[in-house]
Amino acid sequence: MSAPVSIVVVGRDAALWLSACVLRAALRPAGVGVTAVELPTRLTPADVHASLPPLEALHGMLGLDEAALLRATRGAFSLGQNFADVSGATPAFFHAHGAYGAPIDNRDFFPFWLKARGLGLNVALDDFSLTAAAARQGRVLLPDEETEVFGRTDYGYHLPALAYAAALKGLAKRLGVELHQALSVAPTLDADGEIAALDLGEGRSVRGDLFVDATGGEAVLMTALGVARESWRGHFPADRVLRAQGPRFASLPPYADIRAWARGWVGLHPSQAATHVVQAYAGDLCTDDQALEMAGRISGLALADAVVSVSDPGRRVQAWSRNCVAVGEAACAFDPVHGVDLQAVQLGLVHLLPLFPVAADFDAERATYNATMREVYERLRDFQSAHYVANRYAKAPFWERARAATASDVLAHKIATFQARGDIPPSEHETFVADSWRALLTGHGVTPETHAPMIDRTSPEVVKGEFRRILSFIKDQVLKQPSHDLYLESFC
């Protein structure tokens, strides 16, 4: 085969259309054509994408207007996630899309907070986060020069999935992606074992040089190529996921609420269209009917459009096999916590583009991509896994099972290092920054035994003054920000 000049992306929903749009936008100048084969959707009205901040930058690269997107999807902004225990046995904490604190004496803020906590400071870490403070007051952040100097402030979205897929499909058409629809596809392999074409049924077929499998857990193309799957079942206690929706909140919180209960957790993701509810649980501890009942009780909403699916985290041992690249769930399936699915699709595409074949022999590019994506997926898995193995929720079968779940060597080292000295060992291809890890681990009660000694050079008076200045700055800035509801009304 020569260098690819035609790409065929087959799949459904956001993974299909995001892949087609990104590849078309990036490779059109090189004369590479992109064809999308759309399979029937598996989404329901209850499905929502709770995205991470990098998606906003990708939308900008694609020329997607943010206001138009939120208007079309009836989506909303999200500044992070609030983790709560419905029993009240453990305090809530916030995982914010932004920085925690500001540098003191040109040094990282966290060790100063850690030392102060050891000396009796009774101010939570997320109280020093501008993003978390704004979210809890129901406000969005409009960054200005002052906030940019203070620290990083980011946001994600809550995007109703059906409407988001439709918006991406419209963009694909505008970008010139060739579109086909099929009820199913069957790959035809050539003598070398590579995919030559896709049979779309009714006498139709599509040929291509490089194929992208975005068919979800079915992984039609990767299965045909015989690519094995590695299960991550032992890392996660939930094997069932219920998705439903209830009425939208009268006033939209700009964050997701993740509420732990004895047999799982319930996530509430507000949008302008509805309140999207996710219930993750273990099937041997909770029936589907009980899960629906508890989701309604914990959310306080009358739920509709409930659908239950199996949660089976794991990855294909190769994300790129022969002339086929898998993205989304076809490459790797994740637990529902932290909403990393779109991030995984985005990372798969971002790492593919600089390795896109420019010659007939692309073994080196393929090997590099597979090694990179293994690291990417495993680091995303580790952050999700940390929510379970580090949890301190009440004694209950689900959460005891979570604490006993498998932790990778990398994750175990991260937690041990953090507990010993408050450091987060850096990992290659890490998605979540140190602030996110600190918020998660301290929120779950992992208390470092000591702090970086270099901060002891800064006098206590300076530290106290800086703490007061930071808290005062956060209070003043939050009061300036518009409410989430008013901003959506004016922005959209």
Closest Cα to residue 240, out of 269, 278, 297, 274?
A: 278
215 part of a folded domain: yes
Residue 72 has pLDDT above 80, yes or no: yes
Region 114-120: mean pLDDT is 94
What stretches of 51-160 show up as alpha helix (H) in DSSP?
A: 54-62, 66-73, 109-118, 130-136, 145-150
CATH no. for residue 24? 3.50.50.60
Mean pLDDT (whole number) for 395-411: 96
Which of the residue ranges 151-155, 337-341, 384-388 would you say has the lowest mean pLDDT? Answer: 151-155
pLDDT at 243 over 90: yes
How far does the chain reach from its first CA to its final CA, in angstroms? 48
Contact between 164 and 73 (Cβ < 8 Å): yes
**What pLDDT is recorded for position 305?**
97
**Does residue 94 form part of some domain?**
no
pLDDT reported for residue 143: 79
Q: How many domains does the chain have?
A: 1
pLDDT of residue 40: 98
pLDDT interval class at 491 (50, 70, 90)? confident
Q: Is the pLDDT of residue 289 over 90?
A: yes
Residue closest to 30 by CA, chosen among 296, 388, 358, 429: 358
The arithmetic mean of pLDDT across residues 296-301, rounded, is 98
State the pLDDT at residue 22. 98
- In this prediction, what percent of the chain has a pLDDT beyond 90? 95
> What's the CA gap between 452 and 443, in Å, rounded?
20
pLDDT above 60: residue 1:
no
**Percent of the chain clearing pLDDT 70 (strictly above):** 100
Strand 314-316 and strand 332-333: the pairing is antiparallel
Cβ–Cβ under 8 Å, residues 72 and 169: no
Question: Of 361, 447, 37, 387, nearest to 213 (Cα)?
Answer: 37
Which residues, including other chains, have CB under 8 Å from residue 95's CB and lie 6 or more apart? 80, 81, 82, 83, 338, 436, 439, 440, 443
* CB within 8 Å of 404: residues ≥ 6 apart: none
- According to the model, what pLDDT value does residue 142 have? 82
Whole-number Å distance between alpha carbons of 347 and 333 = 14
Q: Are 81 and 94 in contact (CB under 8 A)?
A: yes
Q: Please state at what angle helix 409-421 crosses helix 363-389, rounded to 10 degrees.
A: 50
Is residue 328 predicted with pLDDT exceeding 90? yes
Q: Which domain holds residue 325?
A: 6-77+159-232+313-380
Is there a domain that residue 431 lies in?
A: no
pLDDT reported for residue 149: 83
Q: Please state the rounded mean pLDDT for residues 111-123.
A: 95
Give the pLDDT mean for 440-456. Answer: 94
Express each pLDDT in 410-444 by its tens digit. 999 999 999 999 999 999 999 999 999 999 999 99
The pLDDT value given to residue 434: 97
Query: Residue 214: beta bridge partners?
Result: 11
- Cβ density class 350-365: b for 16+ within 10 Å, e for less: ebbeebbbeeeebeeb
What would the mean pLDDT of 227-253 be, rounded to a whole number?
98
Taking all residues of the chain, what is their mean pLDDT, rounded to a whole number?
A: 96
Confidence of residue 2 (pLDDT cuts 50, 70, 90): low
Would residue 196 count as lying in a domain?
yes
Cα 93 from Cα 116, distance rounded (Å)? 19
What confidence tier does 132 reach under pLDDT thresholds 50, 70, 90? very high
Residue 333 lies in a domain: yes
Q: Tokens representing 69?
A: 């997107």
- Note the pLDDT of residue 360: 80
Under DSSP, the state recorded for 29 is: G
Average pLDDT over residues 292-298: 98
Q: How confident is the model at residue 303, as a pLDDT?
A: 98
Residues 328-357: what's their mean pLDDT?
98
Domain assignment present for residue 180? The answer is yes
**Alpha-carbon dihedral sign for residues 162, 339, 318, 406:** negative
The pair of three-digit structure tokens given for residue 467, joined into one six-digit string: 């703490």
Does residue 147 have a pLDDT over 90? no
188-235: per-residue pLDDT in tens?
999 999 999 999 999 999 999 999 999 999 999 999 999 999 999 999
Dist. CA 373–CA 72, nearest whole Å: 32
pLDDT tens profile 251-265: 999 999 999 999 999
Residue 376 lies in a domain: yes
Q: What is the CA radius of gyration of the chain?
A: 23
pTM score: 0.96
pLDDT in tens, 27-66: 999 999 999 999 999 999 999 999 999 999 999 999 999 9
Does residue 12 sit within a domain?
Answer: yes
- Does 150 score more than 90 pLDDT? no
Q: Side-chain half-sphere of 337: how many Cα atoms within 13 Å?
A: 26
pLDDT at 144: 81
The answer to whether 49 and 14 are in contact (CB under 8 A) is: yes
